[in-house]
């Protein structure tokens, strides 16, 4: 653990705000919950919030800002979502147009920001429970797949659930379910255990997003709902503007992982 | 248990739809979750949903309809919220104007319906766990109090949390916490145990809503967040129209209490 691990969330966000940390946030302010960011125009806000309410496993809402207000009231009221993430992605009509380090030139009264739970929290709990997490061991991205599980539609937002896969040793599968069940705000228990084709995944070797990982002998592929789902669903609507965190460049909240349970 | 206890939710709703049951729903379709209803114009929908998201203990959202759609997609897609409750209350600018048995004359494309968890579910679990529930024994309403705990504001919606009180024998307090903790969708664990004045309740003998109950020797007053909170908060905004269930005349969902956990 290096010094950024021991920073408070406030110190970490100040460093990021000052553009002194333009890289992924894994390990920064260790122990504090990190969140996915989705920003949409207010005309989509009700339907998107409703989509998340109807699909809490892939879209666990942690916090939502008031219209035009960049401060997340529950998870970090002092933070400013326009400047406190290391890197953002800006999409116009579904096309990536910019990867800025702040949103000061883009933010306006018409925008609403959503913070959505991220799997960092439960992966840490798995590791602390003695359960290996393959893509962390391998130093790559978690493999993610589109499934045949349809999310519940809300207004224009609809689409398949995206899942992430972690190979778990057979004798630890129950424990992995138990541990992740305790974290409903970060995807909770798995959505499927064992048979990829049952949820419409044809080829485990070819994830739709992220990297391939090896499933060893006496290991079972275990699938959790994935926070890429709400982004994919929003993208599909091609809103005039949509802003997200850049992959891995998350928002660091004031809430301890332990208090998220 | 009489015959209405054994009805399916669908049968019970048909009986109610046919105006053959215009009375409280306690005990009807036993085992199935009953819900509070709040209907508001769509211009309030985002802020009200946000208020509930920020205050999940008093306002546990079970389901929200699409704008203008009277069918709750998650909890009873075949049901029709315009006709499937025994009695409604209609408020205009905060004033009760009507108590109809259906909403066919009032429903329009501008309305959104919210189903909110109700304490019936956890009270049944308490009883099954061997924990007495005083107001049920006494055949009266649960006592409810305004507190000094402020809800988190969202748009125009703000106000104090309302709590319900149940006297629990000292040796069963821990068990009561354990049991209700398992039901976060129906107010979950208590918000306070023991000292009414700590949460701004001056006189336990004079509840703000409902009926007084006796706190016996070796009993502790235990306070849970109450579903009256979102109604009180919405009423305070004095919307041009707001519709709720009549007290005790709840909506019967297709979801088993056991599956709400």
CATH of the domain at B80: 3.40.1640.10
Token pair in block for residue B27: 């005990």
Residue A103 is assigned to a structural domain of this protein = yes
Residue A225 is assigned to a structural domain of this protein = yes
Whole-angstrom distance, CA of residue B111 vs CA of residue B62? 17
Contacts of A133 (CB under 8 A, 6+ apart): A123, A126, A127, A166
Provide the CATH number for the domain around residue A159: 3.30.2040.10
- Does residue B7 sit in the same domain as residue B92? yes
Contact present, B56 and B225 (Cβ < 8 Å)? no
pLDDT of A95-137, one tens digit each?
999 999 999 999 999 999 999 998 888 898 999 999 999 998 9
Chain A residue with minimal CA distance to B184? A184
* Closest residue to A66, CB basis, from B67, B74, B154: B154
Chain B residue with minimal CA distance to A61? B53
Contact present, B235 and B10 (Cβ < 8 Å)? no
Whole-angstrom distance, CA of residue B230 vs CA of residue B223? 17
- Does residue B131 sit in the same domain as residue B112? no
The greatest distance separating any two alpha carbons of chain A, rounded to the nearest whole angstrom, comes to 54
- Does residue A209 sit in the same domain as residue A222? yes
User: What is the extent of the structural domain holding B144?
Assistant: 120-230
- Does residue A226 sit in the same domain as residue A236? no
Enumerate residue ranges in chain B where pLDDT < 70: 1-2, 261
Residue-level pLDDT at B152: 95
Provide the percentage of residues in chain B whose pLDDT is more than 70: 99
- Does residue B172 sit in the same domain as residue B74? no
Enumerate residue ranges in chain A where pLDDT < 70: 1-2, 261
φ/ψ of A242, rounded to 5, equals: -145, 135
Beta bridge partners of B41: B111
- Does residue A113 sit in the same domain as residue A153? no
- Does residue B7 sit in the same domain as residue B102? yes
Could you report how far apart the first and last alpha carbons of chain A are, in Å? 24
Residue A31 is assigned to a structural domain of this protein = yes
Residue-level pLDDT at A139: 86
Residue-level pLDDT at B27: 84
- Chain A residues lying within 8 Å of B189, measured CB to CB: none
Residue-level pLDDT at B133: 93
Contact present, A221 and A213 (Cβ < 8 Å)? no
Query: Across all residues in chain B, what is the average pLDDT?
Result: 94
- Does residue A223 sit in the same domain as residue A144? yes
Residue A124 is assigned to a structural domain of this protein = no
Residue-level pLDDT at A231: 86
- The complex scores an ipTM of 0.81
Let me know the angle formed at the C-alpha of A57 by B112 and A228, rounded to the nearest 5 degrees: 100
- Does residue B21 sit in the same domain as residue B87? yes
Whole-angstrom distance, CA of residue A229 vs CA of residue A158? 10
Yes or no, beta carbons of B155 and A66 under 8 Å apart: yes
Contacts of A121 (CB under 8 A, 6+ apart): A33, A34, A183, A185, A186, A257, A260
* Closest residue to A50, CB basis, from B64, B154, B155: B64
Chain A residue with minimal CA distance to B67? A155
Residue-level pLDDT at B121: 87
pLDDT of B41-79, one tens digit each?
999 999 999 999 999 999 999 999 999 999 999 999 999
Whole-angstrom distance, CA of residue A88 vs CA of residue A28? 17
- Does residue A147 sit in the same domain as residue A246? no
Best interface-test mutation with B: which of A40, A41, A46 has the largest number of B CBs within 10 A? A46
Chain A residue with minimal CA distance to B77? A152
Contact present, B137 and B168 (Cβ < 8 Å)? no
Whole-angstrom distance, CA of residue B20 vs CA of residue B83? 12
- Does residue A22 sit in the same domain as residue A150? no
Residue written as tokens 């709703």? B13
Best interface-test mutation with B: which of A40, A50, A51 has the largest number of B CBs within 10 A? A50
pLDDT of B147-161, one tens digit each?
999 999 999 999 999
Residue written as tokens 């209405």? B4
Residue A59 is assigned to a structural domain of this protein = yes
- Does residue B239 sit in the same domain as residue B218? no
Model pTM greater than 0.90?
Answer: no
Q: Please, what sign has the CA dihedral across residues B243, B247, B253, B259?
A: positive
The greatest distance separating any two alpha carbons of chain B, rounded to the nearest whole angstrom, comes to 54
* Closest residue to B73, CB basis, from A42, A64, A152: A152
Yes or no, beta carbons of B49 and A50 under 8 Å apart: yes
- Count the Cβ atoms, other than its own, within 10 Å of residue A75: 19
Q: Based on the number of CB atoms within 10 Å of its own CB, is B121 exposed (0-12), middle (13-18) or buried (19 or more)? A: buried
Residue-level pLDDT at A235: 86
Whole-angstrom distance, CA of residue B178 vs CA of residue B192? 14
Residue A175 is assigned to a structural domain of this protein = yes
Domain count of the fold of chain A: 2
- Chain A residues lying within 8 Å of B73, measured CB to CB: 54, 152
Q: Which of A158, A146, A138 shows the shortest CA–CA distance to A223? A: A146
* Closest residue to A45, CB basis, from B46, B73, B74: B46
């Amino acid at each position: 653990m290096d010094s950024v691990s021991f920073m408070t969330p406030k110190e970490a966000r100040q460093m990021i705000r000052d553009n002194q940390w333009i890289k992924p946030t894994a390990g920064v302010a260790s122990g504090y919950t990190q969140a996915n960011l989705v920003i949409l125009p207010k005309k989509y806000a009700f339907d998107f919030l409703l989509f998340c309410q109807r699909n809490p496993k892939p879209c666990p809402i942690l916090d939502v800002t008031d219209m035009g207000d960049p401060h997340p009231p529950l998870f970090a009221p002092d933070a400013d979502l326009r400047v406190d993430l290391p890197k953002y992605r800006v999409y116009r009509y579904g096309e990536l147009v910019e990867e800025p380090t702040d949103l000061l030139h883009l933010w306006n009264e018409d925008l609403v920001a959503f913070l959505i739970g991220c799997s960092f929290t439960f992966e840490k709990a798995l590791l602390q429970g003695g359960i290996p997490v393959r893509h962390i061991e391998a130093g790559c991205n978690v493999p993610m797949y589109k499934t045949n599980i349809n999310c519940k539609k809300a207004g224009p937002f609809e689409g398949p659930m995206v899942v992430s896969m972690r190979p778990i040793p057979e004798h630890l599968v129950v424990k992995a379910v138990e541990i992740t069940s305790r974290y409903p705000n970060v995807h909770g228990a798995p959505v499927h255990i064992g048979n990829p084709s049952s949820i419409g995944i044809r080829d485990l070797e070819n994830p739709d997003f992220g990297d391939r990982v090896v499933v060893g002998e006496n290991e079972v592929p275990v699938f959790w709902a994935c926070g890429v789902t709400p982004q994919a669903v929003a993208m599909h609507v091609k809103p005039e503007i949509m802003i997200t965190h850049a992959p891995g460049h998350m928002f660091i909240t004031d809430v301890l992982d332990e208090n998220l349970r």
